[in-house]
Structure 1
């Protein structure tokens, strides 16, 4: 027991710090969710991403605390990064949509239940947001059609909040462009 006492104490400290950090982040995400009238389920989704990142950080500290040979860590890390690299290269859009989902949660002014118009030259959509998932939005059109629209495309297109057939305000895409020709016109 005395042989690993220092490592056990350091591991306990890291665990307490990570749990405390998670509680603080959770408090601020939930507070933001409540203040901006976001759905609680969306806050829980963001917290899953935060938990994943905290576990990765805690794992790095565990490797350092328990004095694993740096060469061994390099072998494990290169193997993991190779698998992750192949997976993300093959599924780059998954990472893009997941990141966009987090950005949508914190920055964009529309939420579940809002009626929006997506300004897409080839496939414009006027629909009500039924749900915002980690990778896509579920949009319900007036004819009852259900569309799943990738979060990364929502970030790239101009989106107008619509009320009673009239555009009320336009939301600029992240790249700074704006489609003003549809602003304050009946839809």
Structure 2
């Protein structure tokens, strides 16, 4: 056991440093995301979701760093990674909307143009039911919008970034729920 530790002391030290750095960065990022979420008065579930995405990204970088530290043959690794990325590329091309909705969800988290409880109007000519909506929940892939008549609309996050969305102030709404002109 001592021979193994002595033989690979540089790799073990570099691996330990990598893991400590990732844990510190993850902790700092987690605190920053929580602070942005609390300042913006965002839903706790959204804060946890974005924290999970960022944490996953850090661990992927850590694994790549450990592969390089332990001296995996780059040619063999390149062959394996190119095969894996080809399969992932085909899968993501087939599911591009899922990836774009998750990305849009993260962008909406950090830009916070609207939040849960806001009343909005979506300027989408393809949307069959126009009018104002109350944002009930913002998920990773979609947003739950409630109409005045009680209908629930599930609207994709990527469309919230692509379409014009008007946030309606409370004083712009009459007592009966209709828009004031």
Common fold: TM-score over 0.5: yes
Give secondary structure in 2 for the equivalent of 1:134.
coil
Residues 16, 120 of structure 1: CA spacing in aligned structure 2 closer, same or farther, 3 A cutoff?
A: same
Is 1:131 aligned to residue 137 of structure 2?
Answer: yes
Q: Pick the aligned partner of 1:47 from 40, 51, 64.
A: 51
Give the 5 Å matches for 1:17-166: 17-123=21-127, 124-164=130-170, 166=172
Per-residue CA deviation, residues 82-129 of structure 1 (Å, 9 max, x unaligned), is 121011110111111111101111113210111111111232342111
RMSD: 1.6
- 1:147 Cα deviation from its structure 2 partner: 1.0
**Counterparts of 1:52 and 1:59, CA distance in 2:** 11
Aligned with residue 11 of structure 2, among 7, 25, 28:
7
Which sections of structure 2, spanning at least 5 residues, go unmatched? 174-178
| TM superposition shift of 1:11 | 0.5
| Contact 2:40/2:112 (8 A) holds in 1 | no
Matched, 1:186 2:180: yes
Distance of 1:47 and 1:5 partners within structure 2: 33
How many Å apart are 1:10 and its aligned residue? 0.7
Under a length normalisation based on structure 1, what TM-score does the superposition of the two structures give?
0.85
Higher relative contact order (CA 8 A, sep 6+): 2
Post-superposition, which runs of at least 4 consecutive aligned residues in structure 1 deviate over 4 A? none
For residues 73 and 146 of structure 2, what CA distance do their matches in structure 1 show? 55
**Which one has a larger percent strand, Structure 1 or Structure 2?**
1
Larger radius of gyration: 2
Name the count of aligned residue pairs: 170
Q: C-alpha distance in 2, partners of 1:48/1:82?
A: 25
SS in 1 for 2:117: coil
Supply the distance in 2 between the matched residues of 1:103 and 1:23 (Cα, whole angstroms).
21
Q: Contact (CA 8 Å) 1:118, 1:157: kept in 2 or not?
A: yes
